[in-house]
Amino acid sequence: SKTIITEKPIYVDIRPWGSMSTIIGHTFLTHKRRPTKCVAGMLLCAILSDTLNLLGPTTTDWDRLMVAVLADIAEVDDIQLLASRQFKAKSRELATLSAVGLVNGDQKSFSYEVNGGFVGDIGFAVVETTDDVVIMDRIMELIPEMVACKKEKKISMLFLAIVNIVKLRSCLLLCGPSEKSLATDCFHGELSHNSFVMDLGKRVSRKQDFIPVISKVLQSGWKRPNDIPRGLSATMELKELGKLEVDPNDPYGNVTRKTPDPPKQTDVVFITTG
């Protein structure tokens, strides 16, 4: 069961704000407690990250207010400079990640059970970067990893959105024909790279721009067309895609997928007798 079960009732604080850290900062203030400079700085950076420097579509006035308050406590004079340096540092770190890390790092799963329609789990991963070209150059490395991840987690479909947090634009990686079919009905974006990539335009938020649209299309009765071709996940076994291993030569301890060695070629001599 995917239902959360607890022994006792638990307290849950859910608010339609852009960042969880805005809620935490607000809680400090409502309890008349001043966060330390270090805590205020961490909360400030988290809000800037979650709201894309207050430019993301989920940003609220509460987020803007809390950024101002926390910046004062953390003694941050230039919020724009902080955000810029933070995003560049994040992008440098992403460039060092393996395909496994990029596909699984920020991935969430959504379950659907539409009466008479689609039943299954959909994974949606996001990579936010200031330099999307670096990530896009690894498409042919990322697509097989997405297929392997689908098979390992036994999910029906998997998407990976690459978001440029400076230009506030994104594209969607499609690892199979089912993903392509659903994404076309949802976003109607232009396809490229042999239909492995769809342009999503100004959509940047999984919470607001991606999942609500997918949910609406699925709830309206979307089904996988019978006439679409089989994809890699249907034609390849997981063992063909490799197994996860920690790269012993990587200073960051990245987890990579090692593909099986190809069979060794042997010389065969045929002897015929007359």
Residue 48 has pLDDT above 80, yes or no: yes
Q: Note the pLDDT tens digit of each residue in 197-219.
A: 999 999 999 999 999 999 999 99
Question: If you average pLDDT over residues 255-261, what whole number do you get?
Answer: 76
- Average pLDDT over the chain, rounded to an integer: 90
CA torsion 213-219-225-229 (nearest 10°) is 50
Tell me how far apart the alpha carbons of residues 111 and 67 are, in angstroms, rounded to a whole number.
34
Residues present in the chain in total: 274
Considering the chain, what percentage of its residues have pLDDT values greater than 90? 76
Banded model confidence at residue 54, pLDDT cuts 50, 70, 90: very high
Tell me how far apart the alpha carbons of residues 203 and 228 are, in angstroms, rounded to a whole number.
27
Buried b (16+ CB within 10 A) or exposed e, 74-108: bebeebeebbeebbeeebeebeebbbbbbbbeebe
Q: Note the pLDDT tens digit of each residue in 164-176.
A: 999 999 999 999 9
Tell me how far apart the alpha carbons of residues 160 and 103 are, in angstroms, rounded to a whole number.
7
Q: What is the pTM of this model?
A: 0.83
Q: Note the pLDDT tens digit of each residue in 75-120.
A: 999 999 999 999 999 898 888 889 999 999 999 999 999 999 999 9
The residue among 97, 167, 86 whose CA lies nearest residue 127 is: 97
CB 205 within 8 A of CB 58: yes
Determine the pLDDT at residue 272: 43
Banded model confidence at residue 188, pLDDT cuts 50, 70, 90: very high
Determine the pLDDT at residue 268: 44
- The CA-atom distances, in angstroms, between 54 and each of 20, 80, 81, 156 are 14, 10, 13, 34
Determine the pLDDT at residue 227: 83
Question: If you average pLDDT over residues 252-256, what whole number do you get?
Answer: 78
Q: Which residues contact 174 (CB under 8 A, 6 or more apart)?
A: 159, 180, 183, 195, 196, 197, 198
Question: If you average pLDDT over residues 154-161, what whole number do you get?
Answer: 96
Determine the pLDDT at residue 265: 47
Q: Which residues contact 92 (CB under 8 A, 6 or more apart)?
A: none
Q: Which residue has the tokens 């933070």?
A: 86
Banded model confidence at residue 241, pLDDT cuts 50, 70, 90: confident
CA torsion 189-179-139-93 (nearest 10°) is 90
Q: Note the pLDDT tens digit of each residue in 109-145.
A: 999 999 999 999 999 999 999 999 999 999 999 999 9
Residue 2 has pLDDT above 70, yes or no: no
Tell me how far apart the alpha carbons of residues 56 and 50 are, in angstroms, rounded to a whole number.
8
Banded model confidence at residue 261, pLDDT cuts 50, 70, 90: low
The residue among 59, 35, 36 whose CA lies nearest residue 47 is: 59
Q: Which of 24-28, 37-41, 141-145, 256-260 has the least mean pLDDT? A: 256-260
